[in-house]
Amino acid sequence: MTYVQGFVAAVPQENKADFITHAKAAAEIFMELGALSVRENWEVDVPDGEHTSFPMAVKRAEGEAIVFSWITWPDQATAHACMEKMMSDPQMEARMGEMPFDGKRMIYGGFETVFEQD
């Protein structure tokens, strides 16, 4: 089964085009380094919660949208090798450009696929 990295972030609405540009550049790198697929999703229906929610998790501010993203990898080792390469290669930052959101409020994690159906 595959390994999936998931990400949730709050992006200023006015940075949507910049986010898409950034995401496309990052996806190109992820795919070069072994990703099977990259998905970026812009908020359409993401309600505030009473106890917990995506907006609460990333401390969404007025004028921000929630982005839900995931990368599918053949395995955890490939994902970790990609991230290590991206963090250690100064050319990667130049290729991806500046992040159009506050990365300190992004949440993420890695998950082993236990079931899938298409």
The domains of the chain are located at: 3-68+76-112
Q: For 36, phi and psi rounded to 5 degrees? A: -90, -35
Looking at residue 88, its pLDDT comes to: 85
Give all strands of the β-sheet with 3-12 in edge-to-edge order.
Answer: 37-42, 64-73, 3-12, 107-112
Q: Whole-model pTM?
A: 0.89
- Reduced to 3 states (helix: H, G, I; strand: E, B; else coil), residue 99 is coil
Beta strand pairing status for 64-73 and 107-112?
A: unpaired
Q: Say which CATH architecture domain 3-68+76-112 belongs to.
A: 2-Layer Sandwich (3.30)
pLDDT tens figures, 30-69: 999 999 999 999 999 999 999 999 999 999 999 999 999 9
Identify residue 74 by its one-letter amino acid code. Answer: P
Q: Is the pLDDT of residue 87 over 90?
A: no
Cβ pair 1, 113 in contact under 8 A: yes
Residue 91: band (very low, low, confident or very high) from pLDDT cuts 50, 70, 90: confident
